[in-house]
Chains A and B, each alone.
Chain A
Amino acid sequence: MLRACQLSKAFGGLSVLQDVSIDFHPGEVHALMGENGAGKSTLMKMLAGVYAPDGGSVAWRGQPVRFRTPNDALSQGIAMVHQELMPIPDLSVGENLLLGMEPTNAFGWVDQAALHTQASAWLQQLDTDLDTRRPMRSLSVAQMQVVEIAKALARQADVLLMDEPTAALSDHEVTALFKAITTLRQRGVAVVYTTHKMDEVFRLADRISVLRDGRLVCTKAALEFSADSLIAHMVGRELAQIFPPVTTTPGETVLAVEQLTREPAYRNISFTLRRGEVLGLAGLMGAGRTEVVSALYGLQPAASGTIRLRGQTLDLRSPIDGLAAGLAMVTEDRKGSGIVPAMSVQHNLTLAALRQFCRGAVIDATAESSTTHKATGDFAIKASGPGQAINQLSGGNQQKVLLARALLTAPAVLILDEPTRGIDIGAKAEIYALIGRLSAQGTAVLLVSSELPEILSLTHRILVLRQGELSAELAPRQTNQEEILRHAMPR
């Protein structure tokens, strides 16, 4: 039905996609797999009319077509859910969802009641209950992603392209999405899907195409792959194992949290964190995990409760206090509160620890450069140079810069909020190895993650948060995904 014929694309002289030909059949779920920078997003964008191919063509129902704008593709029945969320913050959820398809009355005015009824109906298909009259900006990242998906569903397209649709979603929402995709598949819709989550691919995909460095490696039925062989195709080499073994033994208590409360987000949170320990924080979207760890860093101070680092009670009113005390954090929203987009890689990297490179108030350019050089090597950050603008880097590399930034401050406690969201398997492995190294060096790590495999494999202990309260403390090697979910689901 939809065919890519020898598609090629280059940006500024850099070839991103070369000679890729894939067939997409109706009623099938076709997964595009590959590391970041492999060309998956670019391919999908050409199919959706966002980019024009430099070479090759797109064939739709047997005829070559040239989409000049995404609207052209939409009108033909090809819809896309982008990886980069682009909500309109000041319009309501319903208005965002049905943008361009608003129901009108006889005069041509928007029928508000019908709009919200329809929008709610689409959200129900994804098992999500949101007040569609809320302003879009009040939603969390995960909620916005659900709305984005519902928006594509509402288009009732024949081909649905989805670029990392589950990056921000927790298992509950993912299940609902899969149910919706299965229904679409039964209706004969072709679904093209990219993700970095291995288990999803095997749950959903009928066929898998692997891209590497802009070229098609192979297209085979999903059954013909195993997890290892798939990774091997993507990365071009065998990855011994993704998760490093947890070998360190935690030392004395370094962080003690007592009765931390900020209504209505969370209440009476108490736990300890030991030297070299990796503590996992699991829970559903909206359970309050980000809010709790933000309080520990000073990003969003708690209303009451005590935080003690190495015995000293801390008064954390801003990240400045957090950093000074020896805490560092990588936030979950790298675009919103992580990177400074127009600034260079070097400047982003040294931003939190700038004082270390200063003689008084003046920056020592040599010291800064050499540190950046070392960090770029240590973290395998792929950029054309330290002066490249960070918004040109892939998501994975941006995340590595943010990690390096946090670690430059030599924290005693590192807080990671969804550190591997939207990152390819190669980069994920590097980050997991890093967490292991940090733990061995004595840094305590607080890991918030919605990817249960991560939580189960990397941590010494797991805390489960349910609707703002601690519901369980589990030993990772003695529990499983079902048990965690059981403690996380609302009663």
Chain B
Amino acid sequence: MTATTSPALDRNLLHRLGIVAVLFVIAGLLSVLTDSFATASNLTNVARQVSINGILAVGVTFVLLTGGVDLSLGSVVALSGVACALFAHPGEYPLFVPICVGLLTGGLCGLLNGVLVTRGGIAPFIVTLGMMTVARGLALIFSGGKPVADMSPDLTGLAGDLGPVPIPLICFAAVAVLSWLFLGRFRLGRHLYAVGGNEQAARAAGVSVPKVKLFAYGLCGLLTGLAGVVLAARITTGQPNAGQAYELDAIAAVVIGGTSLSGGVGSVLGTVLGVLLIGVINNGLDLLSVSSYYQAVIKGVIIVGAVWLDRRQARS
């Protein structure tokens, strides 16, 4: 009996073979259909483009693991971006200020979500739906309805490259690795799975369910804030209208990756694979100049197909 690897990890790897297979098939197809897919610069682009959705997806994985949901991701991304941009004018504040403001904005929204879910006993769907509209409104108020421009190049440089590697990718990778370690090795991570798997049982086993949920929503908010900062850096403005429907792409990635919407099952590895799949599809459809009408249909078909294949494989 191995004493070092977590039993859950081996199972996950095996189960995710379905998604990995689909990913490779699609990547292979694209390499054949167009010679611009399999190039270093394109793959770097894909990595850069998926980073924001990736950070969001990892963040919302925590919430989904507890059996909850967060619909406010896109709006909080916009609000955090606006908040960050407001403090990012050149020469005003040192670099860590706008970054911290963005992170804290996201974190506060997440904590508020968590408090309303645990203390208020309101369903996460409703709470985060409300936050979705409130955050969007606040973003418009703080920005005056116009994009907040004039961001210092130090900050917008965060969306650039460090050598050959895009910095947003480094952020995404760091978030993913740290989250993976946390969920697998930390007591609080284990508690997350317990609460999502059977809340009553977790409570009876001495897990503080409200604390765990509050943590999940708060962390998700913090990571959403990070995504907001990265997005603002990338488009060089704090856009109050940014992030429309980002929560759908993020949650789709997480679910594709095998996380159950009812909680207790899931992994960061799965989320990353889901993010990559969606990113590759988006990139490929653009490279092939597929009309946007068809893009929507094709994307939907591939996603449902990938999940079906994955679930079938996991059951056997």
Contact = CB atoms under 8 A, between A and B. Distances in A.
- Which of B1, B186, B204, B208 has the most chain A CB within a 10 Å cutoff? B204
B4 interface: yes
A373 B187 CA distance: 20
B187 A358 contact: yes
B193 to A, nearest CB: 6
B58 to A, nearest CB: 19
Contacts of B185: 362-363, 365
A282 to B, nearest CB: 23
- Which of B187, B191, B193 has the most chain A CB within a 10 Å cutoff? B187
Interface in A16-53: none
A394 interface: no
B235 to A, nearest CB: 37
Given A354-B190, A361-B186, A363-B187, A343 B206 contact: no
Given A329-B204, A338-B204, A343 B187 contact: no
A361 B182 CA distance: 10
Interface stretch (A145-153, A223-231, A315-323): A315-323
B193 A365 contact: no
A397 interface: no
Contacts of B40: none
Contacts of A299: 203-204
Given A352-B206, A363-B185, A347 B1 contact: no
Interface in A340-380: 340-344, 346-347, 351-352, 354-355, 358, 361-363, 365-366, 369-370, 373
A331 interface: yes
B35 interface: no
Interface residues of B, number: 32
Interface in B176-214: 185-188, 190-191, 193-194, 197-198, 200-208
A387 B4 contact: no
Contacts of B198: 336-337, 339-341
A369 B1 contact: yes
Given A347-B8, A386-B1, A337 B201 contact: yes
Given A352-B206, A369-B3, A363 B197 contact: no
Given A351-B202, A351-B205, A344 B187 contact: no
A236 interface: no
A340 B203 contact: no
A385 interface: yes
Interface in B1-60: 1-8, 10-11
A354 B208 CA distance: 13
Given A385-B1, A386-B7, A405 B205 contact: yes
A365 B4 contact: yes
Contacts of B208: 318, 320
Contact of B194 (A343, A385, A388): A343
A319 B203 contact: yes
B257 interface: no
Contacts of B194: 340, 343, 347, 351
A340 B3 contact: no
Contacts of A322: 206
Contacts of B201: 336-340
A340 B264 CA distance: 8
B265 interface: yes
A39 B286 CA distance: 56
A362 B8 contact: no
B190 A351 contact: yes
Contacts of A329: 204
Contact of A342 (B4, B6, B265): B265
Given A318-B203, A343-B193, A385 B264 contact: no
State which size class the interface on A falls in. 35 or more
A340 B198 CA distance: 5
Interface in A255-301: 299
Nearest to A387: B7
Interface string A380-397: 000001111000000000
Contacts of B200: 336-337
Nearest to A368: B3
A218 B194 CA distance: 44
B202 A373 contact: no
B197 A340 contact: yes
Nearest to A294: B204
B204 A342 contact: no
A352 B2 CA distance: 23
A151 B98 CA distance: 65
A337 B190 contact: no
Nearest to B1: A373
B187 A385 contact: no
A342 B264 CA distance: 7
A299 B5 CA distance: 34
B10 A387 contact: yes
A359 to B, nearest CB: 10
A343 B11 CA distance: 11
Contact of A319 (B5, B205, B264, B265): B205
Interface string B68-106: 000000000000000000000000000000000000000
B206 A323 contact: yes
Contacts of B264: 340-343
A28 to B, nearest CB: 39
Nearest to A347: B190
Contacts of A354: 187, 190-191
B205 A362 contact: no
Interface string A385-424: 1111000000000000000010001000000000000000
Interface of B: 1-8, 10-11, 185-188, 190-191, 193-194, 197-198, 200-208, 260, 264-265
Q: Which 3 A-B pairs have the closest CB atoms?
A: A387-B7, A340-B197, A337-B200
Given A352-B205, A365-B5, 20 more contacts: A299-B204, A319-B203, A320-B207, A336-B201, A338-B201, A340-B194, A340-B201, A342-B197, A343-B8, A346-B7, A351-B202, A351-B205, A361-B188, A363-B185, A363-B187, A365-B4, A385-B1, A385-B7, A386-B1, A409-B206
12 contacts: A320-B206, A320-B207, A336-B198, A339-B201, A344-B7, A352-B205, A354-B191, A362-B187, A365-B5, A385-B7, A387-B7, A387-B11
Interface of A: 299, 318-320, 322-323, 329, 331, 336-344, 346-347, 351-352, 354-355, 358, 361-363, 365-366, 369-370, 373, 385-388, 405, 409
